[in-house]
Structure 1
Amino acid sequence: MKKALISAAAAAALLGAAGVAQAQVTAYGLFDISVGKSVTGDSTGNDVGLHSGGDGGASEGNSTTRFGIKGSVDVGSGIKANFNYQAGITGAGATNGKTTGTDGDSKDDNLQLFNRQAWGGLSGGFGEFRFGQQDSVPFQTFIGLDYNGASNGVSAAYFAGSEWLQLSRQSNSLQYISPAMGGLTVQVGYTMDSAANDYKSATDDNEDKKNVVSAGATYVAGPLTLAAAFQGQSTKDDDKSTKDFDETAPYMGFGAQYDFGAFKLKADYHKVDTRSSINAGVVTTVAGGWSLGAQYSIGNDKSRVSNTTDDVKTTAYELFVNKEVLKNVYGYAEIGGAKTDADTLWFGDDSDSATGFAVGMILVF
């Protein structure tokens, strides 16, 4: 990371605050390059290729290639003003990915410069407040329990439909993160329904939308970690399109991890009405300092939304190995697959399974 002191005028422009003497700003980023194809790519018949992380709508490689700037200013009384702006980058140099608004719809990010993070806030002994586009509370609560960092290309939890990954990013979100209190950290969020209007035309109907409240908690006691999260839905009324799924039902998730020393073991469960998933994983360090792990997920979808005639069961797995081979340079290899017993978002009429893999390098700066 490269740090620099910028002038008062530049700091004021970035933070929207007058009278700032100086701000410490960090330029940071990540570059992921790999050979392979994702589970999604395999299901659509793509060939093996060379990718920058984030190609294919952020579905290739392990991590999304990104660039960002973040910083903080001491504003007195032990309080700091903070900001973070981050953009995902494709191999062609364009911004990439999708943002999920409070209505659950995917929004095209290609017109957004900072399409991953764009928030400002205050922090101090009271904790931290943030407002803007940022990761959802459920995502922040459970990402630490995914041993492969929610891989773009082979994430077992994602392809099994785990809801904490579907609720990945929100705009117009106000969040509070508490300081650690005896091992307990609490986070709450409030996302305004105006976020659903960010990309809407004047003719779009938003009368059935509402503000979204979320909460998460993580408790660490020695080798034991416990996590739980909740998030309401932005939909006011169920449209009754299927009697097997209530659109207004909230998300709930629970998880636990135990560090045995030689290895870590985790399990977590997630549910939205008649959709549920369970994930399990293990990771250890082998000779040479390589991290070796495996994760397995089972998703059950009885909503009759993605498939109107059958319940859908999906199983997915991933195996991975990675290591910091040079300073701030990580090598990795991963393989994963998913199998379903009915037509879903990921698989068409001609296929009920797909496999993806990647061998690559991540440079962090």
Structure 2
Amino acid sequence: MKNGRPAAVLGGIAVALTSQHALAQSSVTLGGMTDISMRYLTNDDAQNNGRLFMTNGAVINSHFGLRGTEDLGHGRKAVFDVENNFNPRDGSPGDNGRLFDSQAYVGLAGQYGTLTFGRQNTPMFDQLISTYDPLTYANYPENSWLPYALGAGLAADNAMKYSGQFGGMYVGAFYSFGSNYESTGASGFSGQIPGHPGAGTMYALLASYSKGSLSMAAGMQQVGDNSSDKQSLVHANMAYACGQTRVYAGYLRSRDNTGLVDTLLAEQPVPDVSQMKNTNRTDDGPYAGLSWKANGPLSLSGAFYFDHMRNATTGVNTTGSGNRYTVVALAEYLFSKRTEVYGTVDFNKVSGAAGVELPGRSDQTGVAIGLRNFF
């Protein structure tokens, strides 16, 4: 780590938390996961060449973090969570170089729910990874396009979040004063602009209910850029368990006038984001899948993701309609409660305006094998 600064910061945090532990009943947990895989992709450039490479693991990136609570009495407690993504193939931090790029928040929890402040996952992301996505959170970047792009990244800076669990009912509410501090300018999402309190903001609402084998959820999100153009999303999700098998289905619908969805999905050159604004791009994205857990260490999962888009940017002042779908199969084998090996195969196909979403031909196949360890 350059100049030892991240290590010094973590050391300072540890010392402070140790001192706090001596003054009040509290707990601090260090945990995370290291996951790395070998992956092969077909048609991975404009010349349709294949590529074999080592990469961060499938499903959720490698990460580590500190999570803690302090008992305040009367059923209340203070909570915090700081979490950092990293690349085990070279030891570098997450893609944007932040120290705690995944989550960094503090808050209060009690019998009526939890209120937290800082960089956080959206309620939709929390529910997808825990209940409603057959692959936890899609898969590699080639396959996570549906929730990631339509969900505006599924995490935000400068956020307030309320989470409440009341029996089988979950309620989540979320508001960000500026969802990405690094993205500045008229087309950015940094927000907090004097005289324009609605610019760059993001809000979300979600409710879910689980009873017995059935779980259902519905919600919405809206993010605005610094010019107050909006991208809006509604979603509905369902999961049903039958013995060792779990079935999933969901639907996401996005309407975007910020250019964000076009920007996140493009794998080929597209116009400047300022030329992709106010096109009223609309995406309809159903998905389905299932998972099966054997009595032994083996589990199998499969997923199908689809997107029908309209008014998608394909060139300067040019938009069109198109389709994209992804099929993914995943097999996991547990060596222990903390260590597993996995293999996955995925296939992407695009047509029409979706052609810019793959780097070469209109299809791409990926194969990978990986190893992960939780700590």
Question: What TM-score, normalized by structure 1, do the two folds share?
Answer: 0.79
Partner of 2:111: 125
Displacement of 1:277 in angstroms is 0.3
Q: Is the 8 A contact 2:174 2:203 kept in 1?
A: yes
- Correspondence for 2:137 among 147, 150, 153: 150
Deviations 1:187-216 (A, max 9, x none): 1011113x4445537998965825322111
Partner of 2:357: 346
1:248 aligns to 2:230 (yes or no) = yes
1:34 aligns to 2:37 (yes or no) = yes
Partner of 1:316: 326
- Correspondence for 1:304 among 300, 312, 324: 312
1:190 aligns to 2:175 (yes or no) = yes
After superposition, the Cα gap between the structure-2 partners of 1:9 and 1:93, relative to the gap in structure 1 and judged at 3 Å, is: closer
Task: Give the secondary structure class of the aligned counterpart of 2:67.
Answer: strand
After superposition, the Cα gap between the structure-2 partners of 1:227 and 1:87, relative to the gap in structure 1 and judged at 3 Å, is: same
Larger displacement relative to structure 2 (339-348 or 270-279): 339-348
1:84 aligns to 2:95 (yes or no) = no
After superposition, the Cα gap between the structure-2 partners of 1:26 and 1:254, relative to the gap in structure 1 and judged at 3 Å, is: same
1:50 aligns to 2:54 (yes or no) = yes
Partner of 1:138: 124
Q: Is the 8 A contact 1:62 1:358 kept in 2?
A: no
Partner of 2:252: 270
Letter in 1 for 2:170: T
1:217 aligns to 2:207 (yes or no) = yes
Deviations 1:309-350 (A, max 9, x none): 4202001110011132223101211111110013545314x4
Q: CA RMSD in A?
A: 3.2
1:200 aligns to 2:188 (yes or no) = no
The 2-side partners of 1:341 and 1:276 are apart by 15
1:284 aligns to 2:292 (yes or no) = yes
The 1-side partners of 2:170 and 2:285 are apart by 25
The 1-side partners of 2:134 and 2:327 are apart by 13
- Correspondence for 2:17 among 4, 11, 18: 11
The 1-side partners of 2:240 and 2:289 are apart by 11
- Correspondence for 1:232 among 222, 241, 244: 222
The 2-side partners of 1:142 and 1:188 are apart by 15
The 2-side partners of 1:203 and 1:268 are apart by 30
Number of residue pairs aligned between Structure 1 and Structure 2: 326
Task: Give the secondary structure class of the aligned counterpart of 1:113.
Answer: coil
Q: Is the 8 A contact 1:155 1:318 kept in 2?
A: no
Taking only the aligned residue pairs, the percentage that are identical comes to 21
After superposition, the Cα gap between the structure-2 partners of 1:321 and 1:31, relative to the gap in structure 1 and judged at 3 Å, is: same
Letter in 2 for 1:180: F
The 2-side partners of 1:161 and 1:299 are apart by 11
Gaps of 5+ in 1: 1-5, 54-60, 98-108, 239-246
Gaps of 5+ in 2: 1-11, 256-281
